[in-house]
Amino acid sequence: MKKVPLFIEGEFCQSATNDWIDVTNPATNEVIAQVPCATEDEMQRAIANAGEVFKSWKETPVSERARLMMRYQALLKEHHDEIAEILSQETGKTFEDAKGDVWRGIEVVEHAANIPSLMMGETVENVAREIDTYSYTQPLGVCAGITPFNFPAMIPLWMFPMAIAAGNTFILKPSEQDPLTPTRLAELFEEAGAPKGVLQVIHGAKPQVDKLLTDPAIKAVSFVGSVPVGRYIYETGTRNMKRVQSFAGAKNHMVIMPDADKQQVISALVGASVGAAGQRCMAISVAVFVGEAQEWIPELKEAMAKVRPGAWNDSGASYGPVISGKAKDRIEQLIGQGEQEGARLLLDGRGCTVDGLPDGNWVGPTLFAGVKPEMSIYKEEIFGPVLSCMEVDSLGEAIDLVNQSPYGNGTSLFTSSGGAARRFQHDIDVGQVGINIPIPVPLPFFSFTGWKGSFYGDQHAYGKQAVKFYTETKTITARWFSSEAVSGPNFSIQMR
């Protein structure tokens, strides 16, 4: 049985713990590895070493830190398909979907290679007579990241490359459900020439997370995960005087106007709702049909009925299994609740089977119509291949519906009207908006900007906001005296 190592003090090492968690292939439920819950001593070693290494790493020229990221992105590209295969087998994602996961992470590393320009300060000469003021952007210290199962390459790469490029050291605590991909990312980072201790990787569950949230040496914590855990991370971290960015759950709406291209709408809805088995925080889980567009629901049903899940290397499969048996049971329970509460179940994904893989966590494409805001399937984040259809009479009603949701991660509008698009993007209370694009995840030179109950914190992921999150601004006001006579004391705060 493969034992997943820790990465502490620049070395991969086996944990001394007696507490191990099984890592399973969700397509077969076979145990493929075991991941350790790091001991208190191992956690303390990682934190202490990260703090010590920070003293020298912050003094490393920013150009050298940028070149490390350039070497790292080259290695990630070279091993792209290999990483995607590891990712597929521990998450169940199809190979094409896994490759996209890896590539979006590589794009963030490429952005981190631009760190010199991203860390530039400001200066004003002669703010007063012969006095200049300028600012520096300096790293915080030891930062930590707690990442989810659904993007085991992309989300760790959201975090540690940006933090480390900015001059910090970093402790990564990846999901215990798929730790093999983050381990491979760490191996390649070491191969790229990262100094020992700049990155530490520890494993575990809530006790290990709590250590990161409470240890005074940790200055900032990044998190992506569910709503209740995200709220706990934010409250606990900030209570312990840490800077926290906590990305939580979502309920993303796609609004369809009757003037939209019908085939584009249907194609976008199918892919955005069941792709990755719906296990995306940016998945479309609610389709809001406006006016005559409601007539397209039967054709949407026909298109979704053609979709099937399958193994990672099945080229005909549209998506893979959900991550665990527990997740499957919860999704199927919510489907049952939707039926009981009066929604029309047009496609039922319960009891789905895949030939040759009878023990996988399969859920078929599921489609509801007539969904109301008070229903469980609308209020809860299902995180499965389930799409709920709602019907309204106008764009204004659709905007009100979306804005009343407690979540604000992503939304989209499909229309051929520039006026409707302008109104929607201006009035909608959601952080990421797509116009004729179903999943509007920005490229890394912008920031990932969820709102409302989808995000707790001030600065978002990657882009310029990530640099702000992982750094402090120091402002210097300086005066250099000439050989001329020095004037007497000035007892006023004003500078003239």
CATH of the domain at 279: 3.40.309.10
| Tens digits of pLDDT across the chain (496 residues) | 899 999 999 999 999 999 999 999 999 999 999 999 999 999 999 999 999 999 999 999 999 999 999 999 999 999 999 999 999 999 999 999 999 999 999 999 999 999 999 999 999 999 999 999 999 999 999 999 999 999 999 999 999 999 999 999 999 999 999 999 999 999 999 999 999 999 999 999 999 999 999 999 999 999 999 999 999 999 999 999 999 999 999 999 999 999 999 999 999 999 999 999 999 999 999 999 999 999 999 999 999 999 999 999 999 999 999 999 999 999 999 999 999 999 999 999 999 999 999 999 999 999 999 999 999 999 999 999 999 999 999 999 999 999 999 999 999 999 999 999 999 999 999 999 999 999 999 999 999 999 999 999 999 998 899 999 999 999 999 999 986 656 677 777 765 5
Structural domains in the chain (count): 2
For residues 171 and 145, give the distance between their C-alpha atoms in angstroms, rounded to a whole number. 6
261-268: which pairs have CB atoms within 8 A and are 24 or more residues apart? 261/414, 261/416, 262/296, 262/299, 264/414, 264/436, 265/293, 265/296, 265/414, 266/296, 266/299, 266/300, 266/303, 267/303, 268/414, 268/437, 268/438
165 part of a folded domain: yes
Q: Quick one: 225 and 300 in the same domain?
A: no
Quote the domain boundaries for residue 33: 2-248+462-476
CA–CA separation, 411 vs 427, rounded Å? 12
Q: What pLDDT, on a 0 to 100 scale, did the predictor assign at position 186?
A: 98
CATH code of the domain covering residue 197: 3.40.605.10
Tokens read off for 435: 């116009």
H or E stretch including 45? helix 40-57
Same domain for 427 and 381: yes
| Number of other CB atoms surrounding residue 215 within 10 Å | 18
Give yes or no: residues 240 and 263 share one domain.
Answer: no
Please indicate, yes or no, whether residues 117 and 258 belong to a single structural domain of this protein: no
Select from 109, 136, 132 the least CA-distant residue to 121. Answer: 136
**Is residue 52 a contact partner of residue 76, using CB atoms and an 8 Å limit?**
no
Same domain, residue pair 368 and 260: yes
120: exposed, middle or buried (Cβ count in 10 Å: 0-12, 13-18, 19+) = exposed
Pair 209, 156 in one domain: yes
Q: Is residue 160 part of a domain?
A: yes
Task: Give the whole-angstrom CA distance, residue 408 versus residue 81.
Answer: 33
Q: Identify whether 281 is a catalytic site residue.
A: yes
Q: Is residue 298 included in any domain, yes or no?
A: yes
- 8 Å CB contact between 451 and 248: no
* 403 residue type, one letter: N
Q: Which residue has the tokens 């009981």?
A: 340
CA end-to-end distance (rounded Å), the chain: 73
Contact partners, residue 197, CB within 8 Å, separation at least 6: 9, 10, 49, 50, 52, 53, 169
Q: And the tokens for 394?
A: 């106008």
What is the rounded distance in angstroms from the CA atom of residue 237 to the CA atom of residue 242? 5
- Output the six-digit token pair for 133: 């003021």
Q: pTM of the entire structure?
A: 0.96
Residue 496 in any domain: the answer is no
d(CA 288, CA 182): 37
97/400 Cα distance (integer angstroms): 33
The two tokens of residue 266 are 């249907």
Is 492 inside a domain boundary? no
C-beta separation of 424 from 288 below 8 A: no
Q: Active site residue: 37, 143, 281, 352, which one?
A: 281
Please tell me whether residues 256 and 314 are part of one structural domain.
Answer: yes
User: Residue 92 falls within a domain, yes or no?
Assistant: yes
User: Could you give the 3-state DSSP secondary structure of residue 133?
Assistant: strand
Is 167 found in the same domain as 51? yes
Q: HSE-up of 222 (CA within 13 Å, CB side)? A: 30
Beta-carbon contacts of 396 under 8 Å, excluding residues fewer than 6 positions away, are none
Answer yes or no: do 229 and 290 share one domain.
Answer: no
Cα-based distances in Å from 202 to 165, 419, 441:
20, 51, 28
Give domain status of residue 494, yes or no: no
- Residue 492: what pLDDT? 73
Same structural domain, 225 and 270 = no
Whether residues 298 and 205 share a domain: the answer is no
In whole angstroms, give the CA distance from residue 316 to residue 308. 8
Cβ atoms of 272 and 55 within 8 Å: the answer is no
Cross-strand bridge partners of residue 13: 6
Q: Are residues 84 and 225 in the same domain?
A: yes
457: left (phi over 0), alpha (psi -120 to 50) or beta: left
Whether 484 maps to a domain, the answer reads no
Alpha-carbon span 109 to 70, nearest angstrom: 8
Cβ-based neighbours of 362, under 8 Å, separated by 6 or more: 309, 321, 322, 328, 352, 353, 354
- 320: helix, coil or strand? coil
